Amino acid sequence: MTVLIIGGGAAGLMAAITAKRTDPAAEVVIAERLDRVGKKILATGNGRCNFSNINTKPVNYYGKRPSFVNNALKEFTVADTVNFFNGIGVFPREERDGRLYPYSLQASAVLDALRNECEKLEITVLSGKSVKEISVKKGSLRAVFENGERLRADSIILAAGGCASPALGSDGSGYEILKKLGHTITPLSPALVQVKTDTAPIKGLSGIKIEGTATLIKGEKVLDSDSGEILFTDYGLSGPPIFQLSAKMPFKKDIFIALDFMAEYSLRQVFDILEGRKKALDGMTMEYFFTGLLNKRLGNLISRAAGIEKLSFSVSALDKDLLWRLAGLIKEYKIKVTGLNGFKNAQVTAGGALTDEFSPYTMQSKFIKGLYCCGEILDIHGDCGGYNLQWAWSSGYIAGKNAVLSEQENYEKQQ
Ligand SMILES: Cc1cc2nc3c(=O)[nH]c(=O)nc-3n(C[C@H](O)[C@H](O)[C@H](O)COP(=O)(O)OP(=O)(O)OC[C@H]3O[C@@H](n4cnc5c(N)ncnc54)[C@H](O)[C@@H]3O)c2cc1C
């Protein structure tokens, strides 16, 4: 039996390893369009690879039919993922909000472990091989490569990813392959992506990272909120809480992000802190008022936004009104959203292969026997925080396990 996996990303590597472990006699081949497998894995989690999250639940996933994830997450759980990685040498480290990383905090460790396991299992890796279509003739499957070569396989697992970050391999070609086979692709849009904002209120802050809370607001309505590391850029905002909000951002006018720079304190408490500093720093100028409390550039910006034009302004001249204004800006610094960055910078794709056309128990196409899909190519995307890789592992596991089953066994499972 020959199983061909198209795409050597997270889902494809997991599918290949699972197929070979399930049926050691099977010939398992990965075709990867880039010069090496797993390039995107190296970029995940800021180079640290947030490979899962202990809080993973179906509610963390989106798509036309998010319940499609239920079976895969039950059959290959977060605990199974941790065991799997432990078994190939990746010891886990838990960080904030249940995010799991390799203990060494190196994404390369995750990729090395996966590649070593592929080598140990004698999985064939064909790199620099881009598949342009799958031909189905009399029930027999063949992958057709860009250079015209063909490869016959009993099962094909399409794990070509979506359109996010095409420089890391996923250029959307998987969708074209599926469309030619009659599958439906739901509308595609970038998700978990940086946000473009009015740059005037953040002028001079590019490159600064802060810990805070970002709240998405439209008019008086709070749409969503998330906390963590927020990065100021020359076009707007980035960082996990911003990615998270980007997925919930309606493309409407008058959307703002309000930043809270001292989220653990109430407005009253921030006012009291500032009043205490006024006493302690008597005789100094505004240039030093925020030193040790906020990033200096951010402090200067907040002073200006409160109407204090000159940094030579004396701290002792801060009246109650000004202190309240400063406290208010620290607790709610509003920035107008002007748009989202595109697929080039997005972490994931919202939309993809319509899941109604695949079995959630096997990941097999309901139209073409022997064709399986897993990972981001399917119309499923998750929250920021390790959920997308967990989907790649869980769905890759199911596809790999079922791709080596006989037609009859698969038929029975799909019923
Ligand atoms: C910068 C960045 C950081 C991220 N950080 C995290 C994180 O910390 N935690 C998390 O959970 N998620 C993270 N994600 C999302 C996560 O990486 C993806 O959801 C996940 O990698 C998807 O896995 P996949 O195997 O389905 O697709 P991909 O990883 O995109 O792999 C698809 C593979 O298929 C290959 N391919 C495509 N078309 C063809 C073809 N026609 N022929 C042959 N090969 C083909 C590609 O080259 C690629 O190697 C991040 C994404 C990015 C871009």
Q: For the whole model, what pTM was predicted?
A: 0.88
DSSP string, 359-382: -TTT-BBSSSTTEEE-GGGBS-EE
> pLDDT value at position 414?
60
Mutate to test the pocket of ligand 1, among 5, 18, 40 (most ligand atoms within 8 A of CB): 40
Q: How far apart are CA 408 and CA 245, in angstroms?
A: 45
pLDDT value of position 52? 98
Fold of 191-263+334-340: Elongation Factor Tu (Ef-tu); domain 3 (2.40.30)
Q: Is 306 helix (H, G, I), strand (E, B) or coil?
A: coil
Instruction: Look at domain 268-330 and name its CATH class.
Output: mainly alpha
Which residue's CA is the nearest one to ligand 1's atom 41?
A: 131
Domain boundaries along the sequence of the chain: 2-190+349-414, 191-263+334-340, 268-330
CA-wise closest residue to 205 among 324, 75, 299: 299
User: What CATH number was assigned to the domain covering residues 2-190+349-414?
Assistant: 3.50.50.60
* Distance, CA of 346 to CA of 48 (rounded, Å): 17
- Higher-pLDDT residue of 249, 339: 339
- pLDDT at res. 412: 65
Tens of pLDDT, residue by residue over 264-305, are: 999 999 999 999 999 999 999 999 999 999 999 999 999 999
Ligand 1 midpoint to CA 401 (Å): 20
What's 315's DSSP letter?
G
SS3 (DSSP) at 347: coil
Å from CA of 272 to ligand 1 middle: 48
Answer yes or no: are the C-beta atoms of 174 and 377 closer than 8 Å. Answer: yes
The band of 254, judged by pLDDT with boundaries at 50, 70 and 90, is: confident
Ligand 1 center to 153 CA (angstroms): 23
Token pair of 24 as six digits: 């050691």
130-161: pLDDT as tens digits: 999 999 988 889 999 999 999 999 999 999 99
Name the closest-CA residue to atom 23, ligand 1.
Answer: 10
**Res 409 pLDDT > 80:** no
Amino acid 138: pLDDT: 84
**CA 140 to each of CA 87, 137, 145, 171, 245: distance values in angstroms, whole numbers, following the listed order:** 36, 5, 16, 27, 45
- The DSSP output letter for 145 is E
What average pLDDT score do residues 109-124 get?
98
Amino acid at 9: G
Average pLDDT rounded to a whole number, residues 74-100: 97
Rounded CA separation 304/33 (Å): 52
Judged by DSSP in three states, 385 sits in: coil
Residues flanking ligand 1, CB < 6 Å: 6-12, 31-34, 40, 43-45, 49-50, 130-131, 159-161, 164-165, 168-170, 173-174, 347-348, 375-376, 386-389, 392
Q: How far is the CA of 180 from the centre of ligand 1 (A)?
A: 22
